[in-house]
Amino acid sequence: MKKFMYSSLVRRKLREAKIDVGDRIVVVKNGERIEGILMPSHEFSNENCIVVKLDSGYNVGIELDEKTELVKLAAARKKKEERKSPQIKDPNKPTIAILHTGGTIASRVDYETGGVVASFSPEDLLEMYPELGKLANLKSKLLMNVFSENMRFEHYSLIAREVAREVKEGVDGIIVTHGTDTLHYTSAALAFALEDIGIPVILVGAQRSSDRGSSDAFLNLYSAVRFCCETDFAGVAICMHAGIGDEACYILPPCRSRKLHSSRRDAFKVVDDVPIARVGEKIEFFKEYKKKEKGKVKLYPKFEPRVGLLKLHPNISPRLIEFFESYKGLVLEGTGLGHAPIEHGNEAIFRAIKRIAKRCIVAMTTQCIYGPVNMNVYSTGRKLQAIGVIPCDMLAEVALVKLAWLLGNFGKEKAREMLNLDLRGEIVRRRL
């Protein structure tokens, strides 16, 4: 990483105020006062920008102009060299592995386009958030650099194998940083792939890139590390903002959560279930959970690629359903309690589903998001069951991942038997 990319204006102002990286400073701009630690400059920054770490842990980028005032409050507490040296392992602290997969949490604003591009290395993140190192011995590894909309089943297998490797190496907890778009598909995939895992595996994303003042990356990461260090929880979960403010994060169940908002920090919601825990000032649990047993895991890392997901809607073409004829599994996202159009001009759809259901496993979920699938209430549901459609009372995204996982690891007969067994909390026993 190159340093000292500042413009002559910024360099002059820093020189005049005798400010160096790591110093505690005050910036006064347009009458507003911002106090914090000056962070290292980055090659990607606007050259007139400095990044200041606030006491809240958040970083804020400030563009300097001639009128901006800079004041040094205190010198850096440690020498730069010291800060950059690898952390010395403290035998009294737990060891947490941070596995990076890409996404906004590892992204920066591209000041040329105003957009966001993937950029941070794991080392950058640790440098930006030194607080994490106070909680635990951290090891960090870049598995891939993929925006989560591009994640494929083979990525799930790769992450699951890497997690299992870290478990065998004896770490106390694992953080997987991940884009948020499909984070809930991946959380389900890891929950299924890593049976009886004896340590916490926490997926963490961010809705705002880490170099933005408004980034949620710090609190999400920090809360996840705290949760790994301060509790005896074992299993896969998600850690994201509990609300739009910065009071707390939720630890969310991997197979009952969903990205339900495209932009808010609290985008992830539990559906028909409760969070596992809340990480605020204290850590509060809402659910029973498995306790830590370091080193334990059974790995089932395969996912059958010929499994589809199809949302049904008025006027859908029967030929679209026929597309899945060569598939091994198909999850339908039906309407209401789990219905498909089958009468009043939709008879060809009924015949297409019937033909597919003879060859492959066809599971019915609901596009309502909330509420049960129940195909015994209406005649439509009963007719669909009669031709082999299996009611599947899970989130559609989880049903897709589960069916691909079952077919990938256990074969068709077992998959059919196991589809409606509650293996990882994916089926709600008592609805809220």
Residue numbers annotated as active site: 104, 180-181, 259
**Among 4-12, 66-74, 223-231, 300-308, the segment contacting a second copy (CB under 8 A):** 300-308
**Member of 380, 391, 398, 419 binding a second copy (CB under 8 A):** 380
Task: Assess 48 for contact with a second copy (CB under 8 A).
Answer: no
Task: State the Cα–Cα distance between residues 64 and 18, nearest whole angstrom.
Answer: 16
Interface pattern 115-154 for a second copy (x via CB under 8 A): xxx--------------------------x-xxxxxxxxx
How many Cα atoms within 13 Å fall on the side-chain side of residue 168? 9
Cβ nearer to a second copy, comparing 77 with 311: 311
**Member of 323, 355, 388, 418 binding a second copy (CB under 8 A):** 323
**Among 91-99, 193-201, 217-225, 327-335, the segment contacting a second copy (CB under 8 A):** 327-335
Cβ nearer to a second copy, comparing 219 with 400: 400
Task: Assess 242 for contact with a second copy (CB under 8 A).
Answer: no
DSSP 3-state of 353: helix
Task: State the Cα–Cα distance between residues 330 and 319, nearest whole angstrom.
Answer: 15
Are 239 and 203 contacting, i.e. CB atoms less than 8 angstroms apart? yes
Task: Assess 310 for contact with a second copy (CB under 8 A).
Answer: yes
DSSP 3-state of 243: coil
**Member of 88, 112, 345, 413 binding a second copy (CB under 8 A):** 345
Task: State the Cα–Cα distance between residues 383 and 291, nearest whole angstrom.
Answer: 44
Task: Copy the structure tokens of residue 252.
Answer: 């969310």
**Member of 41, 137, 157, 180 binding a second copy (CB under 8 A):** 180
Task: Assess 359 for contact with a second copy (CB under 8 A).
Answer: no
Cβ nearer to a second copy, comparing 294 with 306: 306
Task: State the Cα–Cα distance between residues 53 and 247, nearest whole angstrom.
Answer: 18
Task: Copy the structure tokens of residue 189.
Answer: 């995939």
What sign for the dihedral angle of Cα 411, 415, 417, 421?
positive
**Member of 42, 328, 339, 424 binding a second copy (CB under 8 A):** 339
Task: State the Cα–Cα distance between residues 200 and 96, nearest whole angstrom.
Answer: 10
Task: Assess 430 for contact with a second copy (CB under 8 A).
Answer: no
Cβ nearer to a second copy, comparing 71 with 320: 320
Task: State the Cα–Cα distance between residues 236 and 159, nearest whole angstrom.
Answer: 12
Q: Which of 225, 240, 227, 237 is nearest to 197 (CA)?
A: 237
Residue 168 CB partners (closer than 8 Å, separation 6+)? 295, 297
Task: Assess 220 for contact with a second copy (CB under 8 A).
Answer: no
Q: Which residue has the tokens 């599947």?
A: 392
Tell me how far CA of residue 300 lies from CA of 192, 196, 400, 411, in angstroms: 8, 11, 16, 13
CB of 152 to a second copy, least distance (A): 5
**Member of 15, 370, 414, 421 binding a second copy (CB under 8 A):** 370
Cβ nearer to a second copy, comparing 31 with 114: 114
Task: Assess 241 for contact with a second copy (CB under 8 A).
Answer: no
**Member of 371, 388, 412, 418 binding a second copy (CB under 8 A):** 371
Task: Assess 335 for contact with a second copy (CB under 8 A).
Answer: yes
Tell me how far CA of residue 151 lies from CA of 144, 157, 184, 375, in angstroms: 10, 11, 12, 32
CB of 363 to a second copy, least distance (A): 14
Task: Assess 374 for contact with a second copy (CB under 8 A).
Answer: yes
**Member of 130, 133, 198, 372 binding a second copy (CB under 8 A):** 372
DSSP 3-state of 137: strand
Task: State the Cα–Cα distance between residues 381 and 334, nearest whole angstrom.
Answer: 10
Task: Give, for 285, the enclosing helix (H) or strand (E).
Answer: strand 283-285
Cβ nearer to a second copy, comparing 86 with 345: 345
**Member of 173, 341, 391, 425 binding a second copy (CB under 8 A):** 341
Cβ nearer to a second copy, comparing 231 with 409: 409
CB of 270 to a second copy, least distance (A): 15
Interface pattern 255-274 for a second copy (x via CB under 8 A): ----xxxxxx--x-------
Q: Which residue has the tokens 């953080």?
A: 175
